[in-house]
Amino acid sequence: MADALPDNFAGRLAVVFCGINPGMTAAAVGHHFAGRGNRFWRVIHLAGFTPEEILPENDRTILRHRCGLTATWLLMLLI
């Protein structure tokens, strides 16, 4: 299922959340952490990574906050 989601990755990121395991809903809709009960977006907002809670359909906007997402474990080896 990791292939079902595109990486949200760019240069000069402060943090990259690597090796995430996408759920069925996320894979089906093509957006990271899209499951109804998934708390990822709320947690990273409350932790101070983003100034507001991002909606799953706006997952690419995480790049504005110098954060990236990848479901690829291999990328973790390259960093």
User: What pLDDT is stored for residue 33 in this prediction?
Assistant: 92
* Confidence at residue 5, expressed as pLDDT on a 0 to 100 scale: 84
CATH numbers and ranges of domains, the chain: 2-78 (3.40.470.10)
Let me know if 58 is a catalytic residue: no
- 60 neighbors 11 (Cβ within 8 angstroms): no
Q: What percent of the chain has pLDDT over 70?
A: 84
> Residue 67: what pLDDT?
96
Q: Which of 31, 32, 58, 65 is catalytic?
A: 32
CA angle 78/51/64 to nearest 5° reads: 45
Alpha-carbon Rg for the chain in angstroms: 12
The pTM of the full predicted model, rounded to 2 decimals, is: 0.82
Q: Tell me, yes or no, if 32 is annotated catalytic.
A: yes
Strand, helix or coil for residue 69? strand
Query: 41: helix, coil or strand?
Result: helix
User: Which residue in this structure is represented by tokens 């359909």?
Assistant: 57
Residues of the chain with pLDDT under 50: 2
Catalytic residue among 8, 21, 38, 45: 21
